[in-house]
């Protein structure tokens, strides 16, 4: 799950800041990302970038790789998008995360990034025997012998999902000129604002959730004048943040939900998320929740995906507060 890699990055950055080495870590992270991006260019990394990268490899990257086991060079991620920034960061430190794509109905993987031809931000190319095409409405369709035959005792759902010989995944995506698949959201999760703008929440949610203080984020705005968000705070990181910002020990998300410093920190996370989308898709207002989305609370699936309808029902008051004039 991408959340594991987000935790590794955020924990390392938080430790560096606590040790007074936050600026060094941030420069090292920027260098890793720039180095990884340069690997995808015809000329590759410049001499100056190579020197900076080698320096930070001794100071920072080698220690991060040690935390990840020391000998590992690759990891596989799926279930949710990793995000291009983190993808480049990990490849830049010498620990490449390869993203793939699949569903229960496709007997797991149906597309994967080749280790020697990776395209960060995509889930790779179709595996042998798997065919992928994009429907007119952007839905990802699959074909091949690896697909399921039917849903148990549900012929109606089977006929709908396997229409015209193609499995309709419910995911929205694109294929580039090299056949690499990029997943941009779920068809049933598309939000249509009052102004008629279609918003795929996954893109901005993933960016906001990458912030160390954010545990979960759910975008709202269906039939509303603008996009908003419900945000929960990472309890594990909150204690460290409070110590660094002079907040009372034992402070909780409930006691700090109106705290100006916490609001400013979450606003920075939202601003970073907004940078990935158009103005019409950007989050205008958000609410910090006092509780968590968990599997036990009924707000997450066993694979840690949001149960959007349940969250929307249980936090209807908070949603209304976002749009109150």
pLDDT at site 57: 97
What global pTM score does this model have? 0.82
- Give the per-residue pLDDT at 246: 92
Summarize pLDDT for 188-236 with one digit per residue, the tens.
Answer: 888 999 988 889 898 899 889 889 899 999 999 999 999 999 999 998 8
Task: Share the mean pLDDT of the chain.
Answer: 93
Which pLDDT does position 55 carry in this prediction? 97
Question: What stretches in the chain show pLDDT beneath 50?
Answer: none
Domains of the chain with bracketed CATH:
2-94 (no CATH), 100-112+121-184 (2.30.38.10), 190-323 (3.30.300.30)
- Which runs of consecutive H residues, i.e. helices, occur in the chain? 2-18, 22-39, 47-56, 62-67, 84-92, 155-161, 201-209, 235-244, 253-256, 260-274, 308-314, 316-323
pLDDT reported for residue 73 = 94
**Pick from 161, 82, 154, 153: nearest CA to 122:** 82
First CA to last CA distance, the chain: 39
**How high is the pLDDT of residue 215?**
92
Q: Is 313 helix (H, G, I), strand (E, B) or coil?
A: helix
């Amino acid at each position: 799950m991408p959340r594991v890699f987000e935790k590794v990055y955020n924990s390392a950055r938080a430790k560096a800041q606590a040790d007074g080495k936050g600026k060094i870590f941030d420069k090292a992270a920027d260098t890793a990302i720039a180095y990884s991006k340069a690997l995808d260019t015809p000329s590759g990394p410049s001499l100056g970038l190579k020197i900076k990268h080698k320096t930070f490899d001794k100071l920072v990257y080698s220690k991060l790789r040690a935390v990840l086991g020391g000998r590992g060079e690759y990891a596989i991620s799926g279930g949710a998008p990793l995000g291009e920034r983190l993808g480049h960061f990990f490849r830049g430190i010498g620990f490449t995360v390869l993203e793939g794509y699949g569903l229960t109905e496709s007997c797991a993987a149906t597309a994967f990034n080749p280790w020697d031809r990776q395209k960060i931000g995509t889930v790779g190319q179709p595996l042998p025997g798997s065919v992928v095409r994009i429907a007119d409405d952007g839905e990802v369709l699959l074909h091949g012998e690896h697909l399921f035959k039917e849903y148990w005792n549900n012929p109606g759902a089977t006929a709908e999902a396997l229409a015209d010989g193609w499995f309709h995944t419910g995911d929205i995506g694109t294929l580039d000129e090299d056949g690499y698949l990029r997943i941009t959201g779920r068809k049933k999760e598309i939000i249509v604002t009052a102004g008629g703008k279609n918003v795929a929440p996954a893109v901005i949610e993933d960016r906001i959730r990458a912030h160390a203080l954010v545990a979960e984020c759910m975008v709202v705005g269906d039939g509303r004048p603008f996009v908003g968000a419900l945000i929960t705070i990472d309890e594990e990181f909150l204690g460290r943040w409070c110590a660094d910002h002079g907040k009372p020990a034992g402070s909780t998300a409930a006691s700090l939900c109106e705290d100006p410093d916490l609001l400013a920190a979450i606003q920075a996370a939202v601003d970073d998320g907004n940078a990935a989308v158009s103005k019409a898709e950007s989050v205008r207002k958000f609410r910090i929740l006092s509780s968590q989305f968990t599997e036990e609370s009924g707000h997450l699936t066993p694979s840690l995906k949001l149960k959007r309808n349940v969250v929307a029902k249980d936090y209807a008051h908070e949603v209304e507060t976002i749009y109150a004039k």
